Chain A
């Protein structure tokens, strides 16, 4: 299994440009999430999904859109990039296993985004 994969690894955008960060998982996990990591601020939840066709907002959703058309894929769209969106973005997936402890997150390698 490849686990959680993310592309691209690095990206530089100009203010106002749009782009999509790709995330895919091959573990058949129900739940997927997007986080951004900024120095001294830990990981903050942007959007999450509890299954195909179902998404919801996290802590910092403004400026981002998501969709979940399949179990495997969960792309994150930046609508109009701003310097405040310079960050490292992590995609994660998880599953519910009540007998073993639920919702451990499996993380992708991250995308480092710079907006100039």
Chain B
């Protein structure tokens, strides 16, 4: 079965620190890759996505992610985090229509 693994369950950073959240998936075929964010008390919303082309994709709020096919990875990065980035982040892989497999999530706490 397909699976998604997120490396860190809880990350604590100070404002202006750099962020990298790891995501690996297990599937040998073509995939669409996503990062979603869930701010406290809100529902999930799309941060960025990759389906083809440039493996470095940019999303909202200064986030970016790099798809490395040989490593089955799709790591999320941000050069300088803000207190408002405190949220839970989910990596997801979609293999076919309507079905996504999510990682367990990473809770990011940014200290002001």
- Chain A residues within 8 Å of B, Cβ to Cβ: 30-33, 35, 40-45, 48-50, 58, 90, 92, 94, 96, 101-105, 107-110
Q: Are A40 and B102 in contact (CB under 8 A)?
A: no
Q: Are A45 and B100 in contact (CB under 8 A)?
A: yes
Nearest 3 CB-CB pairings of A with B: A31-B98, A101-B51, A43-B102
Q: Given A33, A90, A101, which contacts B43 in the complex, CB threshold below 8 Å? A: A90
CB of B67 within 8 Å of the partner chain: no
Closest CB of chain B to A94's CB: distance in Å?
6
Additional 13 contacts, C-beta under 8 A, given A31-B98, A42-B103: A30-B98, A33-B100, A42-B90, A42-B104, A43-B90, A50-B97, A92-B100, A102-B32, A104-B46, A105-B36, A105-B46, A105-B92, A109-B43
Query: What band does the interface of chain B fall in when counting residues whose beta carbon is under 8 Å from A?
Result: 20 to 34
- Chain B residues within 8 Å of A, Cβ to Cβ: 4, 6, 9, 32, 34, 36, 42-46, 49-52, 90, 92, 94, 97-105
Measured CB to CB, the nearest residue on chain B to A33 is: B98
Measured CB to CB, the nearest residue on chain B to A31 is: B98
Q: How far is the CA of A30 from the CA of B45 in the complex (A)?
A: 19
Closest CB of chain B to A112's CB: distance in Å?
11
Closest CB of chain A to B90's CB: distance in Å?
6
Chain B residues within an 8 Å CB radius of A43: 44, 90, 92, 100, 102
Q: Are A107 and B104 in contact (CB under 8 A)?
A: no
Q: Given A44, A48, A50, A103, which contacts B32 in the complex, CB threshold below 8 Å? A: A103
Q: Are A104 and B98 in contact (CB under 8 A)?
A: no
Closest CB of chain B to A116's CB: distance in Å?
23
Q: How far is the CA of A29 from the CA of B44 in the complex (A)?
A: 18
Closest CB of chain A to B44's CB: distance in Å?
4
Closest CB of chain B to A51's CB: distance in Å?
9
